Amino acid sequence: MTTEITSNVAGMKNHTKYSIGYFMPPVESTNWVKKDHIEKAPIWCSVDLRDGNQALVVPMNLDEKLSFFKLLCSLGFKEIEVGFPAASETEYEFLRTLIEKNLIPEDVTIQVLTQSREHIIRKTFEAVDGAKNVIIHLYNSTSVAQREQVFRKSKEEIKKIATSGAEMINEYADKYPDTNFTVEYSPESFTGTEMEYALEVCNAVIDIWQPRPDRKVIINLPATVSMSMPHVYASQIEYMSNNLNCRENVIVSLHPHNDRGTAVADCELGILAGGDRVEGTLFGNGERTGNADIVTVAMNMYSHGVDPELDFTNMPYIVEKYEEFTDMKVPPRQPYGGKLVFAAFSGSHQDAIAKGMHYREENEPDKWNVPYIPIDPHDVNRVYEADVIRINSQSGKGGVAYILETNYGYHIPSAMREEIGYLMKHVSDVKHKELTPDKINMIFNSEYVNRKDKYDLRDATFKRLPQSASLGDNGIEADIEVLIDGKAYKLEGKGNGRLDAVTNALRKGPYNIEYDFVTYEEHALEGESNSRAAAYVAISDKKGKIFWGVGIHNDIIYASVNALISAINRAF
């Protein structure tokens, strides 16, 4: 029975209910477009333990949060948002545990969130009592939608929420002289706020906090819900950066969300536009589609030769611990962290990568510019052999040859690679599975190496004939012992070389095998003086069909003979 498939001709007509909800700056703010890359790392603030944690189906328990905090410190984060202590007893307990057990490193500043309400601000300061370095993060929503629909307040009333909160924070900070406070303000839903009004509110807060060189203020400009293309966010950031009061003593912070899948781009363009700081999470965890992925933003800088000032040199371990703490999974194609991000299955990609790796080894070992692989996998504790070239039914000759070379030492002749590539593709296609390096090596050995099917060479001795007898083409004599179809034969033959002599000896056996030599190559499999040798022989039958054989032996002479016997066994 066949089911007819029809298209939905009507399409998505409900798009008419949506309208643009963001605001462009009142003046052109596009100087950021003149920059082609980020020149230095921003200040990083991890919000995994607050913004990220609240988005988990099952939030982390105390032990998990403590372990995650230690992980973030080990990665180099100097600012870590640890919660909203006045709104949650769990977060209050976590914060007090950090402080009372002296678990916060001297150079790490914790960040706590608060609304502009007196009892919440008071409890927030009580929660951080005893901490050395603290960021008090004040926020309130300023967008048109929030003002009209949620708070139903005027612009002046919304601004008053912000300024009254700023004043209360000043008052409470004076009561805790032993703590080094930094203050931060976020006009939540900034991107849905008129830019002139967002600037007005932020400047009113700045005027209350009176930033100084030794006591800078953070103005955080979040894309609480991503509403625009990244270039719009960048222009909004540039406008704010250019017009904030006391700009030289203000740290402009970015906090993009990923509703449109552009949080990383928002971060990068926002930094170009004047952003000094980024709030985000490992691998982008967060409400709805998540926050900005700090791993990706930082590693993108790294790929441009910029020190991200975070340590992701053991990416598999970071992924493992992240998944353990959050019960979330890092997708296999997640930039830099996913299991498959360095994997190339395409034949043409594999061939280019293999050639690029060889070129680098021979010409630029201290540089990285390998096709299709933006960073050296070793830099994040991934390995070429296991991660880069992956073999399935889409793979090609270059990838298979690369696997056999890097893992097992074979230097497959160029003329042989296509045949091997098609063999592996066929096996993968039939089995519907990826082929591991061990499986590839097993198939290669079974098909090509030291074959003993019909002809099984047991022994061979060679001697060079006297000069008078070696004139012409028969200067080498071979005496061989061979099993042919299980029956033992002692045969002798002369030739212009060892392989030719063995061939002529075999022709004296029960079968009149006719073939021509096509090519022969050899090399050492290992670097030591006592290493095994590998030899590759190609012969052609009467119809011109090519058959390859591979021989392995401690003696190159016997390796070459084994290769010939393998080719013969595959041909006849």
3-state secondary structure of 418: helix
3-state secondary structure of 251: strand
Q: Is 310 left (phi over 0), alpha (psi -120 to 50) or beta?
A: beta
Which residues are CB-neighbours of 304 under 8 A, at least 6 positions away?
A: 37, 38
Quick one: 386 exposed, middle or buried, by C-beta within 10 A (0-12, 13-18, 19+)?
middle
* DSSP-assigned letter for residue 509: S
Is residue 111 within 8 Å of 79, Cβ to Cβ? Answer: yes
What is the H or E stretch that residue 461 is in?
strand 455-464
Tokens of 293: 């992925």
- Please tell me the distance from the alpha carbon of residue 223 to that of residue 192, in angstroms, as a whole number: 8
Report the candidate in 169, 163, 175 with the shortest Cα–Cα distance to residue 113.
169
**What is the chain's pLDDT, residue by residue, as a tens digit (572 residues)?**
556 666 556 678 888 889 899 999 999 999 999 999 999 999 999 999 999 999 999 999 999 999 999 999 999 999 999 999 998 888 999 999 999 999 999 999 999 999 999 999 999 999 999 999 999 999 999 999 999 999 999 999 999 999 999 999 999 999 999 999 999 999 999 999 999 999 999 999 999 999 999 999 999 999 999 999 999 999 999 999 999 999 999 999 999 999 999 999 999 999 999 999 999 999 999 999 999 999 999 999 999 999 999 999 999 999 999 999 999 999 999 999 998 888 877 778 877 888 888 899 899 999 999 998 999 999 999 876 556 666 665 666 677 888 898 889 999 998 999 899 889 888 888 888 888 889 999 999 999 999 999 999 999 999 887 754 544 566 889 999 999 999 999 999 999 889 999 999 999 999 888 999 899 999 998 766 668 999 999 999 999 999 999 999 999 999 999 999 999 999 99
Which pLDDT does position 358 carry in this prediction? Answer: 84
Q: Which CATH architecture has domain 455-571?
A: 2-Layer Sandwich (3.30)
Amino acid making up residue 262 = T
Q: Which CATH architecture has domain 21-326?
A: Alpha-Beta Barrel (3.20)
Q: Where are the domains of the chain?
A: 21-326, 347-446, 455-571
Tokens of 295: 């791993």
| Residues 479-526 pLDDT 10s | 999 999 999 999 999 998 899 999 999 999 998 889 998 999 999 987
